[in-house]
Structure 1
Amino acid sequence: MSRPRPKAQRSESLHRQVARNIRNDIEAGRLRDGQSLPSTRELAAEWQVSPFTITEAMDVLIREGLVVSKPRAGRVVHAPHVTEAPRPKVSVTQVVFVGGFAGSGKTELGRVLARETGWSILDKDTTTRSVVEVALELQGLSPNDRESDVYVNKIRPREYEALIGTMTENVQCGNSAIVTAPFIREFSDAAWVSRIQATCKDLGATPHFVWVYCDASTMHTYVRHRGAARDATKLANWETYISGIDLELRPPVPHIVIDNSASSKPLQDQARNLLATILNEDVDK
């Protein structure tokens, strides 16, 4: 948590916004049990808020039991449940497809689910980004380009092909998987969804489709906070970007919506409810 982050926005109180983001990092495993947090002054500089705001945020996390104060160690992450929770066993291999717009929190949701289950997490960016960046540079384009015809029509389809191939290989080996990607085109295409359902059925796996919804204001905050170079065009033309996407997009099959807006229930609670639904369906089969 050392890189500077853009100034926190007021879609919710600043200290709760900071607490929520740190909570998500803890539950997703980015901050580990026993890890010391930066000092109040360092966190204040990182989040571009006052030290008092950081103290309030830490008080929230301390009350929740996610942070403890230790002599000479300062504030320390307390999250044994993240690594020590019993992993569920399933009778049928499960595949969870998690989609959402940039900054919706789909990767965080995927990581929480993976932490809870031990299932493979297959994230499109992690799987393909370094190769995509080289491919774009070889075409004389910016490695951060995600808008050109070359990327959209030539490179992007291969990204998803590689992602689904990796999922298939995991399932063939008997591993349940959590697959995270925007899936904007894919979840809009009933034929694509039908093919994925058929592929999973042939592999003896049960697919689940999840859409992570986030209101425009909260999404803007998430995108700004992650500071990814590939988001520069979106941020520079945010109103145009938002007006060009369909926030009501949903998969054309039975699915679960996770609301990751600032006013929603904690992402971790929704993740566990989602997992309970999946496991109950597995028991019923």
Structure 2
Amino acid sequence: MSRPRSGVRRSEPLHQQVARNIRNDIEAGRLRDGQPLPSTRELASEWNVSPFTINEAMDVLIKEGLITSKPRAGRVVNAPHVTAEARPKPSSPQVLVVGGYAGSGKTELGRIVARETGWPMLDKDTLTRPVVEAALELLGLSPNDRESDMYVNKIRPREYEALISAMTENVQCGNSAIVTAPFVKEFSDPAWAERIQATCAAMGAKVSFAWVFCDADTMHTYVRHRGAARDAQKLANWDDYIAGIDLELRPPAPHVVIDNSASSKPLQDQARSLVSSLLSKDADQQ
């Protein structure tokens, strides 16, 4: 809750947007059970909304049981279910490949699934960003560059190579894995999906693909909310960015679509349905 946030947009009521993002942070484990929340005034400043809007958002989360209000302690996260549930172990390694555009919520989905299952969470940015930023600086480029030919043709392929290698090593050790990255180029290439399927099959693992969809307005809210420097160019030219991407892109293999738009079902509900589906398929194949 300490990172700066830009103002939310009005694709849904402001308090619902704030509640949705805080709910996702709770379910993804960024906000922990028993953790005190900042004051109303601090949250209002953080989200660039009025204290009234924050109070409305808190009322939503209190009614859902995710927040409690305690005398002298203020508002506190109430989410013992996030860590207390039993974690199922599949009969053979499972690989869940999660893609989506910037700000779609793919990392949040991956984190929720990881907390539900105990499977390792392999996120491209977490694994590679410090090295990528250092490499870009050594090449005389901005560490936030994600548009130049040097990044796209020289550095990006190595990022994904490292990510898939981390997945492969986990599966070779008998572990399942959740792999999150945009995968925009990869999901445009049927041959890439076939190679991943063949690689996993050769190791006795089952692979599933998920695409996190987000409408343009909600995506804009998420991108602004995370405040990442690498998103500055997208935000400065948002209309051009949206015009240049294909919101209808889907993986070129059997897949699940997770709708993380403002009007969709809560992300945690969709994540749990996804986990149930993966484990049901595993049980059917035993």
How many angstroms apart in 2 are the aligned matches of 1:9 and 1:246?
Answer: 22
Residue aligning to 1:262: 262
What is the Cα deviation at residue 81 of structure 1?
A: 0.3
What is the Cα deviation at residue 7 of structure 1?
A: 1.1
Q: Is the 8 A contact 1:124 1:163 kept in 2?
A: yes
Residue aligning to 2:220: 220
How many angstroms apart in 1 are the aligned matches of 2:221 and 2:230?
Answer: 15
How many angstroms apart in 1 are the aligned matches of 2:34 and 2:132?
Answer: 36
Structure 2: gaps spanning 5 or more residues: none
Residue aligning to 1:94: 94
What is the Cα deviation at residue 46 of structure 1?
A: 0.5
- Residue 90 of structure 1 aligns to a residue whose secondary structure is coil
Residue aligning to 1:105: 105
CA deviations on 1:219-238 (whole Å, 9 max, x unpaired) are 01100110100001111111
- Alignment RMSD: 0.6
What is the Cα deviation at residue 72 of structure 1?
A: 1.2
The list of structure 1 runs, each at least 4 consecutive aligned residues, that deviate by more than 2 angstroms after superposition, is none
Residue aligning to 1:274: 274
Q: Is the 8 A contact 1:24 1:108 kept in 2?
A: yes
Residue aligning to 1:81: 81
- Residue 87 of structure 1 aligns to a residue whose secondary structure is coil
- Name the TM-score, length of structure 2 as normaliser: 0.99
Q: Name the aligned partner's letter for residue 273 of structure 1.
A: S
Residue aligning to 1:198: 198
Residue aligning to 2:54: 54
Alignment map for 1:11-50 (pairs within 5 Å): 11-50=11-50
What is the Cα deviation at residue 3 of structure 1?
A: 3.0
Q: Name the aligned partner's letter for residue 221 of structure 1.
A: T
Across the two proteins, how many residue pairs are aligned to each other? Answer: 285
What is the Cα deviation at residue 92 of structure 1?
A: 1.4
- Residue 210 of structure 2 aligns to a residue whose secondary structure is strand
Residue aligning to 1:242: 242
How many angstroms apart in 1 are the aligned matches of 2:122 and 2:153?
Answer: 22
What is the Cα deviation at residue 71 of structure 1?
A: 1.6
- Residue 185 of structure 2 aligns to a residue whose secondary structure is helix
- Name the TM-score, length of structure 1 as normaliser: 0.99
Q: Say whether 1:119 aligns with 2:124.
A: no
Identical positions, percent: 78
- Residue 184 of structure 1 aligns to a residue whose secondary structure is coil
How many angstroms apart in 2 are the aligned matches of 1:4 and 1:136?
Answer: 25
